[in-house]
Each structure stands twice: as C-alpha cells, then as structure tokens.
Structure 1
Amino acid sequence: MKRLAPLTLALSLAYSAAQAGTFSSYDDASLQVGQQLMQSNGLLLRNGDDVWKRIREGYQLTEVDSELVRRHERMYSAKPEYLKRTLTRGQRYLFHIMNEVERRGMPTEIALLPLVESAFNPTAVSGAKAAGLWQFMPATGRHYGLEQTFWYDGRRDVLGATNAALDYLENLYAMFGDWNLALASYNWGEGNVSRALERNRAKGLPETFEAIRMPNETRNYVPKLLAVRNILAEPERFGLKLDKFDNRPYFVAVSTGKHMDIDVAAKLAGMSLDEFKALNPAFNRPIYAHKPGRQLLVPASKAELFEKNLAEYREPLLSWQVYTAQSGDNIDELAQRHGMSVERLRNVNGLASNSLAPGQPLLLAALSSQTASP
C-alpha cells in the first residue's frame, strides 16, 4: 500500500486546554506506527499459507488437569457451529496476533487466548469491568499503558491491547518460569498465584499449577485453552470443519492527521459501520479523535480506496463539537440548542442521568456555523 501523505487538519476546534491535549494535530508518529504494522504483517514468520497450520506448528504448552481438558473438549465440540463462528470472528485479528506471538517466541496457544477471554469480541465487558479482546481490568490496563479516557479506551484497541497482553504474559512467565502458572496469573493475578505457591512451599507440597489451590474459574481457565488447542490440532476428530485461513494480513493501519466522524471514516473505506467498529472498537464516542501515534485499522483490501476517497472528500469530516459544561447548564436546553434529543445527547456521552457537573466534557452536534469545511 502507498504511504498516506501528511494532510492538513480539516477543522479547528475551540477546546479547553485539557481537551486540546486529547485532540492533537497531525504527527509523523502515526505514520510510523502504520508502517511498522505493515512491515510486521508482510513478514510471514512461518512457512505455509494457512494460519491454522502456523498455530499448530508452534504449540508449546504442556497439558495439565487432563480430566478438565477432556470436559472442555466435549463442551466445545458439542457446539461446533458456535466454535466455528467464534474462530471466524477471530480471523480479523489472528494473523496480527500470531505475528506478534511468534515474533516474541511465545507458545502459539497464546494467540487463542482471546477465544477463552472474550470469544474474540473486542467490545466484550465482564461483570468485573474487564474489557476488550484480552479482558484487561482498568488498573492493569493503565499499568500497561492502555489509555482510558472520555474519548478512548485502549483496552479495546486491537493493536495496543494485544501488545500490552503479550507484555504482561511475558512478565508473568519471567516471574514464574512456567506458562501454565503465567496463564493462571493472568486470570487470577500474580499476587494470588505467588501466595498459593508460598503456601505449598511452606507445606512441602509441589509448586505446580495442578498442585496449588485456586478458584474454579482459574482452575478451568488453562484447560479451556488447552481444549481449544487440541480441537484445532485435530478439528475433524471433534466434528469441526475449518476452511483454509489465508496467511496474509486482514487489516493495515492508516493515519490521516484528521479528526473525523466514525461513520464518515467507514464510508470512506467502503465498509459497514459495524465492520469498521469491529476493527476500531476503542473509540467511546462517534468520532476518531486523532493524536500522535494513533491510527485507524481498515481491511488491507480497502486501504487504497480509503486513501483515494479521503483525498477527494469535500464534505465536513466532523459533525460534532466539544463543549465543557458550565455551572447552571441544563441538558434539555443544550439538546434543543444543538438539534438533538435528550436521549441522543445522553447516549452519545454515556450519561446515566440528566445531571451535568461543571467542567464535564460533552460531545454535541455541531451548529452549522461552527462546522468548518476542509
């Protein structure tokens, strides 16, 4: 794909100082990120033309709790269509994840962990508020550099969360020297696993995954992953028919230097809004808020179309404006002034009630006189 040329920002927004830090101007860092991704995706780290084959060739995990593994094999194989749908959804992300896993020399079973964590749903949120493909808790996500703001949740960022999860797992492996214990720690927390090992040590018991006491969820966590691993090793034996998974990137990263509506970006890429969001699920609001190092993901087959359409687009790219709530502001009056229903205003801003706090950022439909043309 051709490199996107730097483009002048389409419009200027009068933000407060805090908001100005959120909506930054164009920076070469964004293009560098996109180029690095394309270079990584262009490097086929294993021979062959089928990602399923690549995954099988890189298995490294030893089996634990065989009885539980068999139970989960039966559970998954009892619903082959569900499993196939989940794996098909994961094909958007698996080529990239596999490249990163192989580049680090990790067991390729790790690439399948999002199936256990989120069923490859990048917008999944657990009852405990873990989010994204890799189900990061808020504090752990921040610790690994995943931005979480009014505008953006890096735990749902396909590239950022994958890098953070693999960093975390590498750190856990360095701590415990055992992938099964590292995976248990990813689910239960390294402090809990360390204390469980210490209790066994004090009692003279084995310091292994199978020997330590842990919650049922964690006890089943690794066997679930091993069950998926085993099914993919011999899919026909488990009644699963997998189509060939072409060994090439599904998406590439592009950077525009512009803020824009998410639905406009989808239109420029010739994609449905749902498919666009599946690749770019980190945005909390209906806008792509540009900043240095941030990029959009589009299917590799759509990248040239996106570039061409963006260069030729003559309508406003952004139909929203940022407003800082003032003392005495009324949500009904703001909605009416900006041609929005109260329900729409609340939904866009994630408001649980009609109450507004002074200093609170709000996204409002731009008034026609405030919408600049490119």
Structure 2
Amino acid sequence: MIKSIASFIFLVFIQCTFAQASDKRAANSILIGHIGPNYFKTSQDTLPKVIFVDNSLVSFQNGIYKNRLDSIRKDVDLSYNAHVQKYIDTYINRKEHIGKMLGLSEYYFPIFEKALKEIGLPDELKYITVIESSLNPNAVSRSGAVGPWQFMYTTAKGYGLTMDTYTDERKDPQKASLAAAHYLNDAYKSIGDWLLAIAAFNCGTGAVTRAIAKSGGVADFWKVRPFLPVQTQNYVPAFIATVYAMNYHKIHEIAVKPAGFNTLTDIVPVNRRISISSIAKAAELDINELLILNPSYKKQIINGTNLVPMPLVIPSVTNAAYSSLYDLFNGKADEVTPVPVLSGLKEPATRAIVHKVKTGQNLNSIADLYGVEVQDLKVWNNLKNTSIVPGQTLRLSPSKKSETVKKESSYVHYIVKVGDTLSGIAEKFKGLTVSKIKALNGLSNSAISPGMRLKINKS
C-alpha cells in the first residue's frame, strides 16, 4: 500500500568489516512488551548491525541457507542472495524477537491464512505482517499507517475498511487481512510477479510500475530493485529472511515465546452499545485479554445494533457457556448484571423483543440479523408460511407459553461457533446429517455464521 514513509522499516547503516564500502540496508522491529494494560503499546526499535561470518565459510553456509529456502513449500519465489543472507543473519540473532513472533503467530496466522485462502493467494504472504507490524494490531507508524497490515487511511477506505468514532477496522485482524488480501491480489494482477506485488504493498503499485519501466520493462524484482525506493529495496529481502527464520527457528535454537493470552477464541455477535469493561465484569473475563482480542474498538465500546451486530472476540468457551454469553451480551441495554461465566451461567429472564419489518426484508434476512432460525420466527409469530409485509411486527423471542413447549420438544439448540460447518456439527450428534439440519432449520444451503441457533434432533 502507498506509504509516504515506510511503516516500521527503518534504515540503518551496516558497516561491512571485510569490505571498504558500506551498504545501506533497511530493517524493522516493534518490540512487544509483556501482557498487561499497555500490551502491544507501540514502540520502535532499529535492528542491530548485521553479523557477518568469515569469508571462508560463506560459500558453505550460503548453500545450506539456499537449500533450506528451496525446501519450503511455497508459491512465492524465495530467492537467495547476499541481500537476503544479511537479513537472515540479523533475524536469527534476534532470538527473543523471533520467539515472540512465533508465539503470536499461533493466534494471528490462522486468521491471515483464512483471508488469503479465501482470495486464493499464497499462504506465505502472511509473513508480511511480521515485517509491517511485528504482529501488533495496535501498531501505528510515523506516517499514520495502522494495524497488523499497516494500512494508510485512504487505502483502507478504498478497500472497504471502516474508520469512525468507535471503530478502526485497520486494527481488526480478520477484516484488515481480507482487505490486505484484496490489495495484494490487485497488485499481482497488475504486475504479474509476487515479489513485486509484495514490494507494491510497501511503496504502492504505481511506484513499482514506474520502476519496472525504468529497468527495461521486465517484471523481475531483482532487476527492478535498483529503481525502487530504498526502503522497498530492502523490504523484500527482509520478507524472505523472515520466512526463513520463522520456518527454521528450531535449527537456530529459537524458542517459541507463548503469546500470553488465549489463542483459542470464539466470536459473539453483539447487537447493542456496551463497553468492553462492562462485558468483562459481567462475564468475569480478563479485561486486558478482551482488549487484546478486540483491538479495533477505539473507545473500548462495542457500538452494535440489531441491524449491524458487532463481533466480540472472547476466549473459547463451551457451547453451553457460549449460548449464555450470547444472551448476556445482548440483554437489556441499560445495565448488565455480573454473572460467572465458567462456573455456570444463570439463564436470563425471557423477554419480549420485537422487530418491525422494513421494505426489502424477509424472514431469512431477519433471522440472520438476530441469530435465530426462520422456523422459530414462524412458531413465535404463528406464521403458516414465510410471507411477511413491511410494517408487520414480529416477535424475536418465545412467549412463556412457547418457551414451555420448546423445553418439552424433541430438539435441542446448538449455537454456531467460529469455524463450525454443517458437516462438522452433524458429526457431533448421533444419527444427524447435514440434510437433516438443513431441513429442520429451513436452510436452502450450507451457509452458517457464528451466533446462529440451529435446531438439533435429540438422540
């Protein structure tokens, strides 16, 4: 993405002890502190000078590094040369930093991988985030780039991210990753080379295109490199070295440093305005952990609505606890009563919630908004079919009478969690199939979303 000043890539002079000339190289790092109230508070640090080995050992070692890079399963060309080697030497000597990246990657990389896979992009592009932000969702560069992928405001807007009073989606790992995937995909389609697309992520597609023209028109990073901005010349070698260090950390005795927070999580849709501190108090969750998992909420307030529920990431819980948390977080708007989460939540009192049908809405869209089933809407509102009209009022929860019937019915409810699929859910229950789930819940396809309530036949 276009940045007037490179984010987190800072130039340092590297003195070559065995040569007369010095070579300018770029390097970066965000030092990540211990977990606490100021976890991920941005700080900047330049990498130490590159360490060189004796010339008599260079040829032998270079062959080893090249073979290792060649052995990594990849779609991006991980070229090996002296520029890459200098960054490899640097990264493998920053054991604590790489150890932190490995620990944080256990949480963030699956998120990045999912976004890249959705667009059909190479998995190894996820390592860009290590160079950009050191896997820090709260990272802010001197030029104003924000988040794990370091989006500038204008670029982020252009790729559909929201920045308003309450939210900065550049910090949202899921949404920012999808935007980054689209950007990289566009860059690759325009340029036709992955290393140059990665370069474009740093300096912009326009700058890369101009550099290609100056180099003779060949889309080859190493031929184009001299015509790119200095920070971008070093950005790609640093990327390749990062891939190496993260994949061969064991060989270099780099230990994984645990992230310090739960890396197994669930997402709960919240359809009202509520502070994260209130949620933490009510559910007896650690406030610092919730803030780490939900970095995009600028004022630590979730400004969800019935029409646009907002996601809240929480440490993974049991399905029963998830159901209770969903009800708790989406309860009365004035206050939340503290309830222990992991020691058995009390069921909230049944409350009558209604929705006034708007033009263009149907039962399916309304059910999706509130995380309920179409069949339940029909039962709660005595509907014989799915026909509704604008202005019609629909109940969104059962009356006491219907609740009694529900408890005595032959089915149970399953709350869809992040990563769930119909086939996976079917495997959890004896005799259940995908077709049965779809038929019981009025589903026309296999699409489900976190928070959705599915009816499941009792065994």
1:138 alignment counterpart: 153
Task: Decide which structure has greater helix share.
Answer: 1
- 1:264 lines up with 2:278 in the alignment: yes
8 Å CA contact 1:268–1:306 kept in 2: the answer is: no
8 Å CA contact 1:130–1:136 kept in 2: the answer is: yes
Residue among 89, 96, 100 paired with 2:115:
100
Residues 244/226 of structure 1: CA separation in 2 closer, same or farther (3 Å cut):
same
Identity of aligned pairs, percent? 26
8 Å CA contact 2:199–2:232 kept in 1: the answer is: yes
1:1-374 matches, cutoff 5 A: 58-64=73-79, 66-201=81-216, 206-212=218-224, 213-242=227-256, 250-291=264-305, 292=308, 294-301=310-317, 305=321, 307-309=323-325, 311=327, 316-317=334-335
2:455 alignment counterpart: none
What TM-score, normalized to structure 1? 0.63
Query: In 1, distance between residues paired with 2:335 and 2:104?
Result: 30
Query: In 2, distance between residues paired with 1:304 and 1:93?
Result: 26
SS at match of 2:145: coil
Query: In 2, distance between residues paired with 1:106 and 1:58?
Result: 14
Task: Give unmatched runs, 5+ long, in structure 1.
Answer: 1-55, 319-374
Counterpart residue type for residue 140 of structure 1: T
CA offsets per residue over residues 37-80 of structure 1, 9 Å max, x none? xxxxxxxxxxxxxxxxxxx9752221346212111111111121
Query: In 2, distance between residues paired with 1:317 and 1:76?
Result: 49
8 Å CA contact 1:254–1:296 kept in 2: the answer is: yes
Query: In 1, distance between residues paired with 2:211 and 2:275?
Result: 49
8 Å CA contact 1:254–1:303 kept in 2: the answer is: no
CA offsets per residue over residues 271-309 of structure 1, 9 Å max, x none? 322211122111111311114153112233377545424
1:31 alignment counterpart: none
8 Å CA contact 2:191–2:219 kept in 1: the answer is: no
Residues 211/270 of structure 1: CA separation in 2 closer, same or farther (3 Å cut):
farther
Task: Give unmatched runs, 5+ long, in structure 2.
Answer: 1-70, 337-459
8 Å CA contact 1:59–1:108 kept in 2: the answer is: yes
8 Å CA contact 1:269–1:306 kept in 2: the answer is: no
In terms of mean alpha carbon deviation, does 281-290 or 267-276 score higher?
267-276
Query: In 1, distance between residues paired with 2:113 and 2:287?
Result: 26
CA offsets per residue over residues 64-100 of structure 1, 9 Å max, x none? 4621211111111112122111221232221122223
8 Å CA contact 1:268–1:310 kept in 2: the answer is: no
Counterpart residue type for residue 211 of structure 1: K
In terms of mean alpha carbon deviation, does 98-107 or 109-118 score higher?
98-107
1:4 alignment counterpart: none
8 Å CA contact 2:135–2:148 kept in 1: the answer is: yes
SS at match of 2:251: helix
SS at match of 2:199: helix
Counterpart residue type for residue 132 of structure 2: E
| Alpha-carbon RMSD | 2.8
Query: In 2, distance between residues paired with 1:278 and 1:74?
Result: 31
Which of these two proteins has the greater Rg computed from alpha carbons? 2
Counterpart residue type for residue 210 of structure 1: W
8 Å CA contact 1:181–1:193 kept in 2: the answer is: yes
Tell me the number of residue pairs that the alignment of Structure 1 and Structure 2 aligns. 258
Query: In 2, distance between residues paired with 1:117 and 1:143?
Result: 19
8 Å CA contact 1:261–1:317 kept in 2: the answer is: no
8 Å CA contact 2:75–2:122 kept in 1: the answer is: yes
In terms of mean alpha carbon deviation, does 134-143 or 192-201 score higher?
192-201
Residues 252/271 of structure 1: CA separation in 2 closer, same or farther (3 Å cut):
same
SS at match of 1:237: coil
The higher-RCO structure (CA 8 Å, 6+ apart) is 1
